[in-house]
Amino acid sequence: MSNILGKGLVEGLVVTAKNFVGSYFDGKRKYRMFNYQYPEERMKLPENSRTFPFLVYDGTPDQLRCTACKICESECPPQCIYIVKDSDANGKPLQRPRVFDIDTSVCMQCGICAEVCPFNAIKMDCDFERSAHARFDDLITHLPVLLKSNDYYHQIKSAEATRVDATRKPVKKPAAATAPTAATPKAPVAVAPAPAPINPMPTPSDISNEDERAAWQRGYQSAIGDGEIVWPPPVVVKKKEAGTKPEQSVTNAPSPAPSSGGAPWHDSGLDLAKRMEMAAGRALADKLMAAMAQLDCQACGFDCRGYAESLAAGATKDFSLCTPGEDATKNMLEKLLKEAGKL
Amino acid sequence: MDAIYQLIHQYCPTMPDWLTLALIVFLPIAIVMGVFLTVFAFLTWVERKSLGRIQNRRGPNRVGPVGLFQPIADGLKLLTKEDIVPAAADKLVHFLAPVLVVVPAFLVLAVVPVAKGFVAVDLNIGVLFALAVSTGSVLAQFMAGWASHNKFSLLGAMRGVAQVISYEVPMVLAAVVVLMAAGTLSSVGIVEAQRGLTGWFVCKPWGLVGFVIFQLCAMAEVARTPFDLPEAESEIVAGYHTEYSGFKFALFQMGEYVAAITMGGITVTMFLGGYLGPGCDMPKYGWLISACWFFAKLAITVVINIWARGTWPRVRVDQLLAFAWKLLLPLSLVNIVAMAVWHFAPNKLVGWVESAVLLAVAIVALVKFNAGQSFEKRSYRFTT
């Protein structure tokens, strides 16, 4: 009896009739109807959905988590992120971006920037209404548009945001509370306390080593590409108040074995092994510096050279502060310090 | 016609004869055209809403209350669209085809009795006229397919011709039963022959079989979905009207829908008792009640059309033709025999039993005979 002609046809008719009637009356079904009446109703996207990245801030917008370390910029596959590190009136770099642009017409919404960010500063949004009138004026999103509060993050992805809040290490911004806020009234947050002297980049005329020249050229190219950085860089004048804080006195103290011949490893494009090879045979501070992520992100409170010298001098004991370098840098620093008998 | 004459005679006895004559001739045509064009417009809305609900969607709901003005918006949009004629097209035939496709659909309406005493033309060969003229639209289809100079159009047109010719045969043979029972070709005569409690022809075994065959053939004739091969979107773009845009495309749609409605009207007239129903003979409002009955029955055929469209997938060409020639045609021939048995039976009960048994045996035998041929199961390489 299972092969009556037309049985399948009738069964099909019953199915469609059930759906027809059910779309009017059956409130028990999970989905009575599938469509959202879009301008009136909006679908709440699931937590794991993602559209474009945004920058998270805690409390007020100037407490943004981003330290302009540029890891996302370098990791972004379509290169749609553009960051310029902020600096104060004296040219001293600050731990925050002055320019943070994301070209949403290029962004492919892969979420890699959110994955690599060591500060949980950049996260993927759920906002699907991003149409705009002009490609170049409206689709390149600037900092004010990108900034969204942690509350908003909780709102769209509560589970993930709670998880992040629980595991997030308090961002190391040493002595931020004691920083002289009067000096920078417009930027109350994230002022690097002590200007660790920025190592002046070698100019082409005084480079003899071929490796060093290549490294310099890479750096120069990236600087030209930015269009914001002028060469030669503004000379950083050592402040008169140097020595008023313990860390400053340390960083300004002469290194046990002063480095010589610049720092060819100071290029985040090189991997750790290559950098260590370049620094082989140098002083401890140089080797330590070569182990850093070379981003000068100041997540540790110094630039890379400053942190290395501080570690070498024993003024800073914690070797886990290089967040961008992650475990590789941490392990390498531990190994180097042990070899030197500093631990 | 009689109803109009009586109305004029009753309310306006001083009207000159020529005006009365003109009114009697043109008023029914105007009414039929107006009513059925309105029905056509809102049938598209009903169809889209129903298909939406079948698929758990809402259907059109933006223009007017619950999307009621959607057909108007569609019409305006199609009117203002660019009318594109392919460079290689046969311009004259390409232009004539959409006009011709509408004509037969409306011509058939002339012989459909919409209410008691209301039929545009009561031809004494009404059914013959309807069946003959309704086939004419396939000529327009083929003109469109040929003139477009497009292989998809031509394929669709060829399919359309094959399909209509195949299904015309069982359709006419299914109609023969009705003519035998009514003894007339006049559509009004056929309706009047179905008076009585179980008088509708669909309530008899041969009538039921005839109704099913006729309905299936009607669906195939106007290329409704299980049989919409001439315009199969997933295979040949839009079939014979691939190269039509703007209002010419609208005319094709209109021709198709009006043809569906008129075929429904013919089905209602022949098998479902036309305008007959309780209260259709009331002296004063009988025409209104009978019109309501007619349109209620028309709605049944429309529902069948929409329901089938929302449920069944398109058949293959070989299945389509095999179904017509191997199942419907023999069955309609047996149906004529069943009608003859019914006619010569000594009493009604014997006629019922005899014709029902004959038809049941025929159906079982035909299904057995066709099993494994026309509806064979397809096997796929990469499925388990």
Closest CA to A82 of A104, A96, A101: A101
Length of chain B: 384
CB within 8 Å: A13 and B311:
yes
Task: Identify from A2, A10, A18, A20 which residue to disrupt to test chain B contact, counting B C-beta atoms within 10 A and taking the largest count.
Answer: A20
| Residues of chain B contacting residue A37, judged by C-beta atoms under 8 Å apart | 58, 61
Phi/psi at B191 (5° precision) = -60, -45
Give the model confidence (pLDDT) of A77-125 as tens digits: 999 988 888 887 777 777 778 888 888 888 899 988 888 888 888 999 8
Give the model confidence (pLDDT) of B201-249 as tens digits: 888 888 889 999 999 998 888 888 888 888 888 888 888 888 888 888 8
| Residues of chain B contacting residue A16, judged by C-beta atoms under 8 Å apart | 54, 307, 310-311
Interface residue B367 vs chain A (CB under 8 A): yes
Confidence of residue B334 (pLDDT cuts 50, 70, 90): very high
Length of chain A: 343
Give the model confidence (pLDDT) of A274-295 as tens digits: 888 888 888 888 888 888 888 7
Cα–Cα distance for residue pair B313/B331, rounded to 1 Å: 24
Give the model confidence (pLDDT) of B8-29 as tens digits: 777 777 777 788 788 777 877 7
Closest CA to A22 of B245, B57, B242, B37: B57
CB within 8 Å: B55 and A13:
no
| Mean pLDDT value of segment A236-260 | 44
Asked if B129 contacts B123 with a C-beta cutoff of 8 angstroms, the reply is yes
Give the global pTM.
0.64
Closest CA to A298 of A27, A58, A2, A70: A70
B272 to A31, B112, B201, B215, B337: CA distances (angstroms): 38, 13, 7, 11, 21
A77 cis-preceded (ω within 30 degrees of 0)? no
CB within 8 Å: B311 and A35:
no
| Mean pLDDT value of segment A161-186 | 55
In the CATH scheme, what architecture does the domain A53-219 have? 2-Layer Sandwich (3.30)
Helix B205-221 and helix B246-271, axial crossing angle in degrees, nearest 10: 170
Asked if B123 contacts B186 with a C-beta cutoff of 8 angstroms, the reply is yes
CB within 8 Å: B311 and A12:
yes
Structural domain boundaries in chain A: 53-219, 239-339
What is the value of ipTM here, to two decimals?
A: 0.73
CB within 8 Å: B58 and A15:
no
Interface residue A105 vs chain B (CB under 8 A): no
Min Cα distance B371 → chain A (Å) is 9
- Alpha-helix residue ranges (DSSP H) falling in chain A: 7-25, 71-75, 112-116, 135-138, 143-146, 150-156, 158-167, 210-226, 246-252, 272-278, 284-291, 304-313, 326-339
